Structure 1
Amino acid sequence: MSWFSILPEPFVFVETWVVRFFLFLGILSIGPWALLIIYDAILYVFRTATYEIPYIGGRARHRPRPRAPSLSERPSGYPRRFSLTLSGVPTPAEAIDTVSVLQKRKEKSGYERDGSAAE
């Protein structure tokens, strides 16, 4: 350590502990992410392998492979509609209160709550 140390010989132990401290901080910050990546890889391999095994995997039960959720299609097959505006909301110039907007929306949808005490 004396060849690479910038401190005098009596203070080499300080440099050693500083190196150990920063290695600990590195393991503390990178360790959980590395464990999650390893866990994800093992889970992927396990699920891929068990898909092919009869009586356990999906192929044996004539199931399709799992698909990632779609942002453009609902599980029922209908397309999703994305909007940042609410239908039936008046412009700020009209200044209608929120309660009347919600009542109009409830009447428009034709949905009536049974047994509700909220009016």
Structure 2
Amino acid sequence: MGLLSILPASFSTVETWLTRIFLVFGLVMIGPWAVLVIYDLILYVFRAVTYAIPVVGGRAQGKARPRAPSLTERPSGHRRRFSLARPKEETGSSTGAVAADAPDARSRHT
């Protein structure tokens, strides 16, 4: 530490312990994230490898590879229709001042 230090030689022990403390703090902060990244990588490789193994993997059981969900297609195969209009709902008896036959201003009739 003597070559890189700007402190006097009498503070070398304090500087060494401060360095060690900050290294431990760094490991405490980065350690859990590093463990999660390594776990995720191992899980990805395990799932990719076991998919192709007969009897164990999904290919042997007749399953298709997982697909990302689609925003425009439902699981039933029908396409979704995106609209801001609300569907017209059947109204029962109304106690308000608005007549039941009057169209709702927030919805369009299609």
The bucket for the TM-score relative to the shorter chain is 0.5 to 0.7
Q: Counterpart of 1:99?
A: none
The count of residues paired between Structure 1 and Structure 2 equals: 90
Q: Counterpart of 1:76?
A: 76
Q: Deviations over 1:39-66 (max 9, x none)?
A: 1111111001100111110111111011
Q: Is 1:9 aligned with 2:27?
A: no
Cα displacement (A) at 1:72: 3.8
TM-score normalised by the chain length of structure 1: 0.60
Q: Counterpart of 1:57?
A: 57
Cα displacement (A) at 1:85: 8.9
Structure 2 unpaired stretches of 5+: 89-95, 97-110
Partner SS state of residue 49, structure 1: helix
CA distance in 2, matches of 1:24, 1:84: 55
Q: Deviations over 1:58-107 (max 9, x none)?
A: 1111110112333443333344567889778xxxxxxx9xxxxxxxxxxx
Q: Which moved more, 1:17-26 or 1:70-79?
A: 70-79
Higher Cα Rg, which structure? 2
Q: Counterpart of 2:36?
A: 36
Cα displacement (A) at 1:22: 1.5
Q: Counterpart of 1:22?
A: 22
Letter in 1 for 2:73: E
Q: Deviations over 1:20-55 (max 9, x none)?
A: 122122212221111111111111110011001111
Partner SS state of residue 73, structure 1: coil
Q: Which has the higher helix share?
A: 1
Distance change >3 Å, CA 72–CA 14, structure 1 → 2: farther
CA distance in 2, matches of 1:25, 1:67: 41
Q: Which has the higher contact order (CA 8 A, sep 6+)?
A: 2
Identical aligned residues as a percent: 61
Q: Counterpart of 2:101?
A: none
